[in-house]
Amino acid sequence: MDDVQNGALAIDVREPHYAAVAQQLLAQIGSGGLRPGDRLPSVRELARQTGRSITTVLRAYEHLEALGAIGSRPRSGYFVSAAPKARPLPQTLQAPSGPPSLISGELVADFLQARIGGPLRFGDSVPEPSLLPVASLNRVARQLLRDEPELAIPYQMSPGYQRLREQLAGRLAALGAEVAAEDVVITTGGMEAINLCLRALTRAGDTLLMEAPTFYGLLQAAEEHGLRVVELPNDPLTGIDPDDLRRAVGRHRIAAALFVQNFNNPTGSLMPDEAKREVVRTLNAAGIPLIEDDVYGELGFVAGRATPLKVYDEADLVLHCGSFSKTLSPGFRVGAIASRRYARELTRRKFTLSCATASLPQMIVSRYLETGGYERHLRGLRASLARSIARISEAVLQAFPDGTSVSRPQGGFVLWIELPGTVDAVQMFRRAAQAGIAIRPGTLFSASAQYAHHIRLNCAMPWSATVAAGIATLGRIAHALAAGRG
């Protein structure tokens, strides 16, 4: 506590605004310098000590409160939270031994065809429009159509809008990746980026290395390309184990790897930087290309932007795939691939697949990046998502049956929930659908159809009475199934 009171709180100026303050306070809480029950300085006092604005410090406190690290008391200020009771995390299952799995897309197709009405969007992993800068994007669109119709209306042929490619390359280069504008190919969303990479790197019958659980859309893409999948267990906190990767590389003939290691969907896990280095080094040494799906990488709750695997790529074998669908506008469908080695091949395949990505969305994103609006938006979005995750996590633990465990995401906006073993997630999906609520059952997230007692919830929505009622309804359904009243 003395370090804070004496004004000795050191701020790393490389971290964005409130995140720097929050990280330093978290470090002191973790080291015991700040103990449960300790009172924190007032917002005004901490702003004076750190040289930050009152708004920045208030946002840092709100952020830590959303994470459960501190709490506020009326007219008393902020205090370090009591040490929380340890909560079990969802179980990580070992992948079945034996030959690689061949995925069936039938189950995924069934769920995609189920159109569920109602105001709650717990199923699809997209942010609610209220969390996105809709008015600002509309304003930029109107300006572009008025001022530059000769660029906004015609094709921006593959590899895409030059200014946006320069900006994306610059953002990756600032993180330490060796990327230039000519290495970037603009795509129609993140899924097209993944599919283009699979087209360039694999043939039907090849083996693809993936983590489990992982996003079912990636499994669908692998099935579409006729690939067999070897799964690595994905820890809900730290992602895949580099030792598991080394064993898989030694045991299988792998054509490519496809990982989501920055706030994995569905677990929210974040691979530590040193483990990222080991993973890339292992794959580089074996000559195995790695498709990095980094669509959630900007959405870290405390540290902000997570380090891409591409940063550790010394052999130019990591194909970095990103998108603005999770951070800015799902409907714009603006994604990108960064890869010097494969840029020419990807450009050609993009042209034959879809010719060009829509021009106006590319230009809107580029102009928005130029204004600085994107960074301001990200800071607010991260804080909002942290609050939503914290509120929905607590509500789930209160409403669901004993034996339920919930992931502790460090970023992104989905929750991975393990239910008691008597609850079948597919049955829960069907019961929830009858109540007008969409969720995703765990079996979708594994090539080997594991995680039959897990569900994923989208949390990218402000807390409201409607959200609270939806969680309560899901809790009643889970209780009924746990009691055998399915």
Per-domain residue ranges of the chain: 2-80, 135-373
Output the average pLDDT for the chain: 89
For residue 152, how far is the Cα from the chain centroid? 30
Q: Give tens-digit pLDDT for 69-123.
A: 888 888 788 998 876 555 688 888 877 777 777 766 666 776 766 666 666 779 8
CB atoms within 10 A of CB 380: 12
Q: How far apart are CA 67 and CA 350, in angstroms?
A: 41
CB atoms within 10 A of CB 390: 19
- Residue 25 is predicted with a pLDDT of 83
**What topology is assigned to 135-373 in CATH?**
Aspartate Aminotransferase; domain 2 (3.40.640)
Residue 326 pLDDT greater than 80, yes or no:
yes
CB atoms within 10 A of CB 404: 22
Is the torsion defined by CA of 127, 133, 139, 144 positive or negative? negative
Beta pairing partners, 323: 335
Given phi > 0 = left and psi -120 to 50 = alpha, else beta, which region is 232?
beta
Angstrom distances, CA of residue 435 to CA of 37, 120, 315, 394 = 42, 11, 51, 22
Phi, psi of 335 (to 5 degrees): -130, -175
Q: How far apart are CA 64 and CA 464, in angstroms?
A: 20
Buried b (16+ CB within 10 A) or exposed e, 214-236: bbbbbbbbbbebebbbbbbbbbb
Residue 173 pLDDT greater than 90, yes or no:
yes
Find where tokens 């804070």 sit.
4
* Helices assigned H by DSSP within 400-464: 425-434
Instruction: Judge whether 262 and 297 are in contact, CB under 8 Å.
Output: yes
For residue 331, how far is the Cα from the chain centroid? 18
Instruction: Judge whether 435 and 478 are in contact, CB under 8 Å.
Output: no
Q: What is the pTM of this model?
A: 0.85
End-to-end CA distance of the chain: 52
Given phi > 0 = left and psi -120 to 50 = alpha, else beta, which region is 137?
alpha
Q: Amino acid letter at 160?
A: G
For residue 332, give both structure tokens: 């714009």
Pick from 13-22, 135-144, 360-369, 431-440: least confident: 13-22
Q: How far apart are CA 439 and CA 122, in angstroms?
A: 5
- Residue 225 is predicted with a pLDDT of 95
Architecture of the domain spanning 2-80: Orthogonal Bundle (1.10)
Q: What is the largest CA-CA distance in the chain?
A: 65
Closest to 28 in 3D by CA, of 40, 16, 17, 43: 40
Q: What angle (nearest 5°) sits at the alpha carbon of residue 284, between those of residues 239 and 265?
A: 25
Angstrom distances, CA of residue 69 to CA of 61, 245, 374 = 9, 34, 27
368 vs 89, residue with greater confidence: 368
Mean pLDDT of 147-165: 90
Q: Give tens-digit pLDDT for 453-474.
A: 999 999 999 999 999 999 999 9
Task: Read off the DSSP letter of residue 309.
Answer: G
